[in-house]
Amino acid sequence: MAQAPPPTPSDRFATISALLLAVVALLGAFIAWRISIADDNSNDMDFLGITATINLEDSRLVSTATHLQHYRQYTQFVRYDELGYQLVEDVEAANERSEEAHAEVDALEDAGDEGDPEAAPDGADEVGEADESDEAEEADDEQDASDESEEAAEADVVDESDADAVADASEEADVAEALDDESGEQEEADAVAEAAELAAEIAESDALADQLGKEAQEADDLSTHAREFFPSRYLNRDDSYNAYRELSEAEARTAQEKDLAPDPHFVAAELQRQRSFQLTQILVVLAVALFFLMLTEAVQTRLKYVFFALGAAALAISLVATYLVEVRV
């Protein structure tokens, strides 16, 4: 049986070149597969990012609408609560004015009770003094008439002047008494009018206090009713509303059920696109390696060794780059 001839260096070179071509083909298929996977992953990450964005905006829309409803009830509570405090202050002011008016009326009544007894004795004293002066004048006239009868003419003149003086004094006393009466009546009328004004003011103040009291109670009921429609745990110590806390807690509750973080997905999608782009660049280098190795098969001169070296170098660069992209990136 004939033995096969031993392989020549040319045959071994052709075999190595064929193996490198097979490696180039396999590496090209692997890179194409990894590019396809990276593109699919980037598309999936984009979809998840868009879904998370929609979930986030939907959550914010719902939580904002709920917050606005709560905040509307909170503003109603603050409004009626503050209105109630102001109405209570108005009620206290009306009650104070009513008490002041009552005090003024009591003062007027006390002044009237003290003034009437004093007025009567003063008038009686004036009339008594007038009567005593009249009697004294008459006695003097009679004494003068009896003692000086011889001076009749002069006595007649004196009697006439004394009578005129008595009449004038009596008339002045009457006028003074009339003026005192008129002054007392005017003061009494003024006091009655002032008392009537104070009584009307008291009635008005009492009615206003009752009305304001009802409005204050109604405002308190409305504020209590409004407080039932918003969560009081979001009230700060100064009774201000913590909107940021409510919105944050609503978003956190939704995040337990839905994906609300689009940024990580978009970052991952960008990384997958970068990997796909880098693998595509490696595929170009691998195509260069394939080109030089094909020239090695076609050329029969020593130039084929140069093409083989270039193809092998390109293949080695492709292998290292593929490893770095797949493992380290």
3-state secondary structure 260-315: CCHHHHHHHHHHHHHHHHHHHHHHHHHHHHHHHHHHHHHCCCCHHHHHHHHHHHHH
144 in the Ramachandran plot: left (φ > 0), alpha (ψ -120 to 50) or beta? Answer: alpha
Q: Is residue 217 part of a domain?
A: yes
> Span 258-265, mean pLDDT?
93
Residue 182: predicted pLDDT: 65
Q: Which of 81-85, 96-100, 182-186 has the lowest mean pLDDT?
A: 182-186
Is there a contact between 222 and 80 (Cβ–Cβ < 8 Å)? yes
Is there a contact between 64 and 240 (Cβ–Cβ < 8 Å)? no
Q: Is residue 2 part of a domain?
A: no
Q: Give the chain's mean pLDDT.
A: 80
Residue 146: predicted pLDDT: 53
Residue 115: predicted pLDDT: 55
Residue 57: predicted pLDDT: 94
Q: Which of 106-110, 137-141, 212-216, 248-252 has the lowest mean pLDDT?
A: 137-141
Q: Concatenated DSSP letters for 18-54?
A: HHHHHHHHHHHHHHHHHHHHHHHHHHHHHHHHHHHHH
- Return the higher-pLDDT residue of 171 and 88: 88
pLDDT tens digits for range 9-39: 667 888 888 999 999 999 999 999 999 999 9
SS3 112: helix
User: What is the value of pTM for the model shown?
Assistant: 0.57
Residue 93: pLDDT above 80? yes
Residue 98: predicted pLDDT: 81
Q: How confident is residue 253, by pLDDT bands cut at 50, 70 and 90?
A: very high
- Return the higher-pLDDT residue of 133 and 295: 295
Residue 62: predicted pLDDT: 94
Residue 44: predicted pLDDT: 96
> Span 226-230, mean pLDDT?
83
Residue 34: predicted pLDDT: 94
SS3 241: strand
pLDDT tens digits for range 198-224: 788 788 878 888 888 888 888 888 888
CA distance 141 to 148: 11
Residue 201: predicted pLDDT: 77
Residue 176: predicted pLDDT: 65
Q: Is residue 1 part of a domain?
A: no
> Span 108-124, mean pLDDT?
54
Q: Is residue 128 part of a domain?
A: yes
- Return the higher-pLDDT residue of 139 and 238: 238
Q: Is residue 3 part of a domain?
A: no
pLDDT tens digits for range 287-308: 999 999 888 888 878 888 899 9
Q: Is residue 288 part of a domain?
A: yes
**Distance from CA of residue 264 to its chain's centroid?**
36
Residue 64: predicted pLDDT: 94
User: Rounded to whole angstroms, what are the CA distances from 34 to 68, 294, 317?
Assistant: 50, 25, 17
User: Which residue pairs from 305-308 have beta carbons closer than 8 angstroms and sit at least 24 positions apart in sequence?
Assistant: 308/13, 308/17, 308/20
Q: Sort 42 into a burial class: Cβ within 10 Å, 0-12 / 13-18 / 19+.
A: buried
> Span 73-81, mean pLDDT?
90
**Distance from CA of residue 163 to its chain's centroid?**
93
pLDDT tens digits for range 146-165: 555 555 444 454 455 555 66
Residue 162: predicted pLDDT: 57
Domain extent, residue 223, equals 9-328
Q: How many domains does the chain have?
A: 1
